[in-house]
Amino acid sequence: MIGTIASQQSLLLRRQHVALVGLITMLAVTAIAGVLGWSSHHTIVRVFDQAVRLQAAAGQPAPPNPFLLKPNLSLLSNMVVYIPLIGALLALVVGHLSMVDDQSKGMGRLLFTRQVTRTQYALGKVLAATRFLALTLVGCGVVSIVALLAVNRTLSPSDLGRLTGFYVLSWSYLAVFVLVGILTALLTRRRSLALLSAIGVWLVITFVVPQFTSGLRPTQSLNPLTEPAGTSQAFFRVTQHAQPLSIVEQYKTAAGNILGTSPTSPTTETVLTIVPTLIAGFGLLVLVLWRIQRHDYARSASDE
């Protein structure tokens, strides 16, 4: 039964223009990340050439080759920013759409006259939404591979493994936001309130919590090369202990480790940074399953 509900929801998501636009947007930003990576590569080559000429004219030795400082997968460093920004918003909308249509169109009343439990129903919806995101990320992965081959000319099995790991991590991160979208739709009766509450949660996770734990200003969250968290203030020396709760920071740290774009750290440390995201996802799933048992499907939700 879970499979049937998931298949039906997948069909609805394919027909939803908003979800489709979100999918195309994700593929487009992956391509943009590739173009930016190519531009970065090209700029470094040109700046290096100019620097060599300048140093030679001044009678100084040539500067070190900057590509020795630039990891192979650094081309994708912008994806580490786009996934928590654009991907998470897409995940919210997908989770929201998965739940609200049945509520506002009164389908819930009809559906539960059939042999289907609420747990099966919720799991089917979660499965469909996360499967949609998985397919989206597979598409993004293909675009990333094309971009890497176009710029670096080669892609080692190790890099392919890292790339796969990055997208698996991203999928688990986005699953959290799918569940946020579903949960807010179950908690409120008005569509707009549900969507805006979910966006409120996203704003807090993405911008407010990192400022609390690491002193990162909102616009600093947009740059793939953020400065290390300042711990000069006594306040941040205390709040940095809460950094494991900041799942966006944990995601960025884990993504940097997996892609090899941040200083090497032990595997156990990388695994530990993924744990908060998994705990958040599991906790939200439990909340969704608990909430759906109490949801009153006899009342239609407001379309507003």
3 state DSSP class of 276:
helix
Binding status of residue 210 toward other proteins by CB under 8 A: no
Position among 40, 119, 172, 300 found at the interface with other proteins (CB under 8 A): 40
- 8 A C-beta contact, residue 272 and residue 167: no
Nearer to other proteins, 265 or 302 (CB): 302
Position among 115, 154, 219, 268 found at the interface with other proteins (CB under 8 A): 219
Binding status of residue 4 toward other proteins by CB under 8 A: no
Nearer to other proteins, 2 or 174 (CB): 174
Window 151-170: contact mask with other proteins (x via CB under 8 A): --------------------
Rounded (10°) angle between helices 267-294 and 247-259: 140
Q: Which range, of 3-11, 106-114, 126-134, 223-231, touches other proteins by CB under 8 A?
A: 223-231
Please, what's the b/e burial string for 220-243 (b: 16 or more CB within 10 A of its CB; e: otherwise)? Answer: bbeebebeebeeeeeebeebbeeb
Give the H or E element holding residue 258. helix 247-259
- 8 A C-beta contact, residue 195 and residue 288: no
Sign of CA dihedral 86, 89, 90, 91: positive
Binding status of residue 193 toward other proteins by CB under 8 A: yes
Binding status of residue 9 toward other proteins by CB under 8 A: no
Site for other proteins in 243-262 (CB under 8 A): none
Binding status of residue 222 toward other proteins by CB under 8 A: yes
- HEC letters along 64-132: CCHHHCCCHHHHHCCHHHHHHHHHHHHHHHHHHHHHHHHHHCCHHHHHCCCCCCHHHHHHHHHHHHHHH
Binding status of residue 78 toward other proteins by CB under 8 A: yes
Position among 117, 164, 233, 293 found at the interface with other proteins (CB under 8 A): 233
What does the binding site for other proteins look like in residue numbers (CB under 8 A)? Answer: 17-18, 21, 25, 29, 32, 36, 39-40, 43-44, 46-48, 50-51, 54-55, 63-64, 66, 69-70, 78, 81-82, 85-86, 89, 93, 104, 190-193, 195-197, 199-200, 203-204, 207-208, 211-212, 215, 217-219, 222-225, 232-233, 235, 302-304
